[in-house]
Structure 1
Amino acid sequence: MKRIASLFFIVCIGFAQLAKADEGMWLLPLLNKLNMNKMNELGLKLSAEDIYSINNSSLKDAIVIFGGGCTGELISDQGLILTNHHCGYGSIQALSSIEHNYLEDGFWAKTKEEELPAEGLKVTFMKYMEDVTERINAELSDDMSETERQAKIWEVSSNISKEATEGNNYRAIVKDYFEGNQFFLIVYEIFTDVRFVGAPPSSIGKFGHDTDNWMWPRHTGDFSMFRVYCGPDGKPADYSKDNVPYQPKHHLPVSLKGVEMDDFAMTIGFPGSTERYLTSWGIEERMNITNEAMITPRGIKQDIWNEDMMASEKVRIQYASKFSRSSNYWKNSIGMNRGLEKLNVLEKKRALEAEFAEWAAGSDERKAKYGEVLSDLEKAYEAQAPYRKARSYVLECLLRGTEIYSFSLRARELQTALENDNQEEIDAAVKKLTEAGKGFYKDYYPETDRKVLAALTDLYYNTIDKQFHPEFYQTINKKFKGDFEKYANTVFSKSIFSSEDKFNAFLAKPSLKKLNADLAFSAGLEISETYKNIVAQLKETTSTISKANRLFMAGLMEMHPDKVYYSDANFSMRLSYGTVGDYEPRDGVKYKYYTTIDGIMEKEDPNNYEFIVPQKLKDLWKAKDYGQYADKDGKLHVCFTTNNDITGGNSGSPVINANGELFGLAFDGNWEAMSGDIAFEPELQKCINVDIRYVLFVIEKYAGATNLIDEMTLVKE
């Protein structure tokens, strides 16, 4: 085990110069060994210590996990955070109402007293990372079963995390890299008092909406602003009027110097997940099962949502954030399948696997260690295919697609309390459900969910083998003669979960008999049981695939000792580096690297909510009133492209120039390279960024929030 870890470091350190500048999500503690020479060649003026330092202020101290799945950056010494509009979307939506529609109208706090507490939102700073591979490997042996191995890793990791958090308020986790061949301890500090500071209206922050999502050219001002607060002692604290703006160890200076072709660009953020080393069988499963299960059910659900959202402003506010989250990976899945087919990724993977098989057979030692890896993978993926498909459809149709089923399951604790006839437990469960109901019903329209339930229970029934059907399908067939519309109508006419009034009336006088007889609750329990049974059946194949992938990864590094390997993304802090540039997506077409405000006006369509342009923005454009944010060509630049390697989780990541200054905000990838999570395409892969000058223009010229501009450290030359 130790030999594998040592080999990794030899490979990476000895051959780092072969890495391409535009591919790879790199761990910050290893930059000095792996990347600095190449980054300096591309123009970087900073040292590795400037980027990542444990004891001194560095760029990493200005970067946060925003919420649970995005990146943000500190841009003032008063805790001011910049992230994407779509990252703040959920919080903005939660704070919105018909009377105060911050999604549609925007919002700007002109004083700190006007900032709005964003309930439930948190930001997380990474304090440091530490390689603990040797410590964990010392407790492992090759004769362990995969279950025993994982149990030991968990035990040792828990001890390491506990040690790291003794005597402080930090959180710690040990994450594995290279399919379990390497381990890092990561220590975090979490702040829970985060307040909404400002955002443009959706007509700017989501200009182009779903039509332009993943597309270039782009003209979206995808940004929002928040502030992190702490206790008077500078430590994390829950919301209090006595809290003060957090003073970070480092905040990013903001560059007004503009964007030029071939400029150095790096991103630092928290990319969520990539599978660049996935085998051909894994890719087939991703395309034909996982992605397909996102494409078909979500497409049906989104059509229903969209129709109701267009008919009602109330529904549009309630479902705006839900629709955005759903459609993002729906479109991503479509693009990924298209890209993987176009790039012949399966053929390339099969060629690599054939090479691996020949190499493994080349010596008795390699044959003993790696000879069964590929056959084990093929058999395991084949065996689990029907279970994976059923699992994916249970999630997309029944647990995530239909809201009433999943919400009803929150009553399980109350069910237990009622069964125990324990009044204290009943009161506690009722209190929790009352609070949960407030949030749920605020963003819930029963008639919309009724339509979704009818459509998706029907889809599941006709797509998934009957062995995976929850028991309530028998009721639909017997009592409702297979009519899913009638079934849905009955659920919503009778269920205590179908409206806030019914729900609260039930909680005022909870009854075990009534709860158990509820159609939504009983169906939810059956769906949950079906899901657990499917997952249990996947346990053995999942274990086989995990072990085989770990050995395949180790074997690849032995087979190609002259190649640099970077680990897959796993929502830990990473840096990517590259340059500003244009690209040619297809024959006869060349996209330049930037867009301007002129393109917004060209796309304007007052009859399409996706392309409405605010009158004030048009007035500023007509007057060419761009202030200090105009480019040297006299135009206001909006977005630009770089070849940085990013994925989901990088949304909101700062795009930083050679001097460590913020000059853009990453918010998307391009349609032609949606295969990027599995196969990086260096000729086409682009990171789409909003130009920081457009962000500042909107803040100052459009919103008049000069108080926020005054906080920042602006760099003009």
Structure 2
Amino acid sequence: MTKKILLSVFLLPAAMAFAQQYGGMWIPTELNEKEMKDLGMKISAKDIFNTQKPSIKDAVVQFNGGCTAEIISPKGLLLTNHHCGYGQIQAHSTVQNDLLSNGFWAKNPDGELPNPGVKVDFIVDIKEVTDQILEGTDNLVEPELTKKINKNIEVYKNSQKIESYQSIIVKSMYYGNKYYAFTTETYKDIRLVGAPPQSIGKFGSDTDNWVWPRHTGDFSMFRIYAGKDNKPAEYSKDNVPYVPKHYLPVSIKDKTENDFTFVFGFPGKTTEYLPAVAVEKIMTDIDPARIAVREVALKTLDEKMRTDSETRIKYASKYASVANYWKKWIGEVEGLKKSNAVEKKVMYEGSLVAKNHEIKATLDQLNKLYNDQAPYALNNAYYTEVVRNAETLKLAGDYYDYIASVEAGKMDDKELTKLKTKVTSFYKDYSAELDAKVTAKLLTLYANKTAPQFLPIGFAKYKDENQNVPVIEEMSKNSIITGRAQVNGATLTGDIEKAFSNQDKLIKTLKKDPIYQLYVSMKETYMKNADPQFTSLQGKIDELQKKFMAQQMATDKDRKFFPDANSTLRVTYGKVKGSTPRDAVSYGYQTHLAGVMEKYIPGDYEFDVPKKLIDLYNKKDYGIYKDKTGDVPVGFTATNHTTGGNSGSPALDANGNLVGLNFDRQWEGTMSDINYDPRFSRNIMVDTKYILFIIDKYADSKWLIDEMKVIK
């Protein structure tokens, strides 16, 4: 952080107070109900979350641990994003039966496809348990503090009576100043019902990702199945569709600007209360490092995927996952700069210090710690991204952990089975030849971008990419990790049981493996020269951040605080609204099918359009799904404060009816994870009119619409 910014924290007048804007990610038991009603909400907070009678929360689930989904029929029909169900659609796809390209629509319940391992979680209850969890911790410091908190959590969980299919998850909020217990209920028989082709569900692909105007029909449909008693059960042909306590009516009424909306889901992670120095480090150091690594990986994958269909299918889901946050971080950096996030934080900190001078000492310490941590944090960003995106190194990491576990005597049959299952699944969508190129190029980047003290001895030999590619390819050819060499008479990609048949020989061979040795040199250097310092300083930062959070809440009585997102159930609210993100640039709040046709590029992997959709457009065969313009609305934006994990979340109107499906944010506002700014922050949703239009007119699956309660 510059000296100028540091000094300005304490030179600003106390009058420069933080101006609260509506927004936030509210725990549904602690809703900002008055403001929601002032903005136009017609229902009550009890209609949204109620443990005594059915409420909207009973129709909202966490989908497979990462996205959100919602129930839209009395037969357990589940709606989520196409990109949330992408892995399942991919798993059912082959070159001969490419559901990604062709789409899939069950014609009746018997045609719905099972998805082993997929689950959904309902939230049954939420309770604040701060007093119980922090009991006896007043005079404790780390590591005793964490030990005591963990013990209190276990005591609390063991004291609660729950069903066998329920769990209790205790989460800290406000950096450990408060704790909440979430009772969850898990269903494990989830079947694929329908998905449009990716030319609809992923229309615009990476070019349009995080971008508005948007024309993506980003939805897929599943169904929850239960035992005959309507309770959770493992997959069985005898299971029946789940009967929900509540399901969402689907509204196809026209939208107008400034209509009230709220989004109900499981946002993943935000950091709204960081000090200015932390935001500056993210903006100038951490995000640019992550962007650089993923840029190299994506470019290399893309070159192969464009020319080879098998690779395209194999890497489709992984490519999308890597590209998602690459583009998000680019927008985040630009948004932090455009919204003057650091300067705003500085001003706010100045106003806090003016009210409570003790905060100055906290901020001084935070500034020093972040600056001390900076070189280690930068190496952490490069190292973790390189190892994550070079799949060959990622595999080496799995085998490194395996050897460590065996040598520590912790590798039992159960853990060994888990490892074999994990790597077998990984190899299914892995190309050793392609990833050798990715790995080589990422090693070149790491060698050139990393300070010498963080590099293994002799690592400078990887600085030249032209020399590096054939070197890593040769290592890959001679590696058992890549599946191109044998151990125990088999390859790990072919007969994994035979490859593991002689564990001693496998471990000896792994330790001599060239890829394994490369990974070990990188990991051990990182663990010696960067990780301990990074982790130690982060522990001190976290401790101070908890204090800073408590000081903010105690000092700023005019601000309404909500906890940062942490994958727990939240409500955010706002208004349907367009935006003016740049000078002389204005976006409307609604896109239409005509916009799909404007972007149409025949045969293009991002902007192709199915012939049937073109025919429907040309005939204007829109049925009841057109709006007052005579066209079918596709997407819309609003000021709801969303983030990753909100994908698939229901967007609801003032009466609690489903009006859209959240799937993205506008690129100019992706900094909202750190600095929500209503001038730029917009969430992007698929319009329910477009969803039902595709199901009815395109997919000829009106039987699904007949299950729903459609509000016209």
1-structure distance, mates of 2:345, 2:290: 24
Q: Name the SS for the 1:658 alignment partner.
A: coil
- How far has the Cα of 1:274 moved from its partner? 1.1
| CA separation of 1:177 and 1:661: change in aligned 2, threshold 3 A | same
- How far has the Cα of 1:409 moved from its partner? 3.3
- How far has the Cα of 1:372 moved from its partner? 2.4
| CA separation of 1:601 and 1:166: change in aligned 2, threshold 3 A | closer
Q: Name the SS for the 2:634 alignment partner.
A: strand
2-structure distance, mates of 1:57, 1:687: 28
Aligned residues: 682
The yes-or-no answer on 1:589 pairing with 2:551 is: no
The yes-or-no answer on 1:458 pairing with 2:444 is: yes
Deviating more after overlay: 540-549 vs 648-657? 540-549
> Of 493, 507, 511, which residue of structure 1 is paired with 2:500?
507
2-structure distance, mates of 1:419, 1:650: 41
| CA separation of 1:19 and 1:458: change in aligned 2, threshold 3 A | closer
Alignment of 1:374-453 (within 5 A): 374-398=363-387, 400-412=388-400, 415=403, 431-453=417-439
Report the equivalent of 2:222.
226
The yes-or-no answer on 1:490 pairing with 2:486 is: no
The yes-or-no answer on 1:47 pairing with 2:44 is: yes
TM-score for both structures, normalised by structure 2:
0.91
User: Structure 2: 5+ residue runs without aligned partners?
Assistant: 1-18, 485-489
- How far has the Cα of 1:189 moved from its partner? 1.2
Report the equivalent of 2:13.
none
2-structure distance, mates of 1:490, 1:586: 49
2-structure distance, mates of 1:528, 1:678: 30
1-structure distance, mates of 2:58, 2:439: 46
| CA separation of 1:481 and 1:125: change in aligned 2, threshold 3 A | closer
- Asked whether the 8 Å contact 2:433–2:473 carries over to 1, the reply is no
- How far has the Cα of 1:413 moved from its partner? 6.7
2-structure distance, mates of 1:264, 1:110: 36
Report the equivalent of 1:606.
602
Alignment of 1:283-432 (within 5 A): 283-361=279-357, 367=358, 370-398=359-387, 400-412=388-400, 415=403, 431-432=417-418
Report the equivalent of 1:99.
96
1-structure distance, mates of 2:653, 2:466: 61
| CA separation of 1:56 and 1:314: change in aligned 2, threshold 3 A | same
| CA separation of 1:227 and 1:471: change in aligned 2, threshold 3 A | farther
Residue identity matched to 1:541: L
Report the equivalent of 1:519.
514
| CA separation of 1:247 and 1:634: change in aligned 2, threshold 3 A | same
Q: Name the SS for the 1:229 alignment partner.
A: strand
| CA separation of 1:38 and 1:358: change in aligned 2, threshold 3 A | closer
1-structure distance, mates of 2:681, 2:189: 37
2-structure distance, mates of 1:401, 1:45: 47
Report the equivalent of 2:113.
116
| CA separation of 1:371 and 1:594: change in aligned 2, threshold 3 A | closer
| CA separation of 1:435 and 1:180: change in aligned 2, threshold 3 A | closer
Query: Cα deviations across residues 285-307 of structure 1 (Å, max 9, x unaligned)?
Result: 21233212220000000000000
Q: Name the SS for the 2:349 alignment partner.
A: helix
- Asked whether the 8 Å contact 1:414–1:426 carries over to 2, the reply is no
- Asked whether the 8 Å contact 2:441–2:465 carries over to 1, the reply is no
- How far has the Cα of 1:116 moved from its partner? 1.3
Report the equivalent of 2:15.
none
Q: Name the SS for the 2:397 alignment partner.
A: helix
Residue identity matched to 1:25: M
| CA separation of 1:176 and 1:435: change in aligned 2, threshold 3 A | closer
Residue identity matched to 2:374: A
Q: Name the SS for the 2:116 alignment partner.
A: coil
Report the equivalent of 1:578.
574
Give the alignment's Cα RMSD to 1 decimal.
2.5
User: Structure 1: 5+ residue runs without aligned partners?
Assistant: 1-17, 362-366
Higher share in helix: 1
Report the equivalent of 1:190.
186
| CA separation of 1:351 and 1:699: change in aligned 2, threshold 3 A | same
| CA separation of 1:418 and 1:653: change in aligned 2, threshold 3 A | closer
Q: Name the SS for the 2:377 alignment partner.
A: helix
| CA separation of 1:516 and 1:589: change in aligned 2, threshold 3 A | closer
2-structure distance, mates of 1:159, 1:635: 58
| CA separation of 1:683 and 1:409: change in aligned 2, threshold 3 A | closer
Residue identity matched to 2:303: E
Q: Name the SS for the 1:260 alignment partner.
A: coil
TM-score for both structures, normalised by structure 1:
0.90
- Asked whether the 8 Å contact 2:440–2:465 carries over to 1, the reply is no
- Asked whether the 8 Å contact 2:135–2:152 carries over to 1, the reply is no
- Asked whether the 8 Å contact 1:597–1:636 carries over to 2, the reply is yes
> Of 129, 132, 135, which residue of structure 2 is paired with 1:132?
129
- How far has the Cα of 1:146 moved from its partner? 3.7
- Asked whether the 8 Å contact 2:352–2:556 carries over to 1, the reply is no
